[in-house]
Amino acid sequence: MADNARAKRLADLIREVVAQKLQRGIKDPRLGSHVTITDTRVTGDLREATVFYTVYGDDEQRQEAAAGLESAKGILRSAVGQAAGVKFTPTLTFVADALPDTAKTIEDLLHRARASDEAVREASAGARYAGEADPYRKPGEDEAAETSAETDGDAKG
């Protein structure tokens, strides 16, 4: 079994080779400039590589890109084998990266939180405190209150 550093180096090499080959070497119109390789992971035995990609476009373009990557898998694996010089070239599996969808979900949640905060801010614009502005007692106020209560009681009696 290979060490993690070697698997990481091979994963980085695969990511670079696949990205360059997609940009310059493959003439498939489904794999135009809207496909981006985001990450690559290699198993510990260096036999299988998972290549994560994103597609700039709608669902139809994503499906076309997935089909294009599947059809170009052999050419890409050959390019990786030539560049890596390893005994066994890893098999490539292409997986659509969920990062853009996750980022969009987080952006939507943040937008809703900002709108909720704004609604609370507007509702509390003319509001006043239910009691005093500062409901906490401070040192020295207790003595002053007791002294004034005693003097008020002596004055009435």
- Specify which of 17-26, 42-51, 58-67, 128-137 reaches the highest per-range mean pLDDT: 42-51
The reported pTM is 0.64
The mean per-residue pLDDT over the stretch 90-99 comes to 87
Q: What is the model's pLDDT at position 109?
A: 92
Q: Round to whole Å and give the CA distance between 5 and 59.
A: 36
Q: 37 with 53: CB under 8 angstroms? A: yes
Residue 25's pLDDT is 77
> 85 — alpha (psi -120 to 50), left (phi > 0) or beta?
left
What is the predicted pLDDT for the residue at 153?
56
Higher pLDDT, 28 or 93: 93
Confidence of residue 50 (pLDDT cuts 50, 70, 90): very high
Parallel, antiparallel or unpaired: strands 91-96 and 35-42? unpaired
pLDDT value at 151 more than 80? no
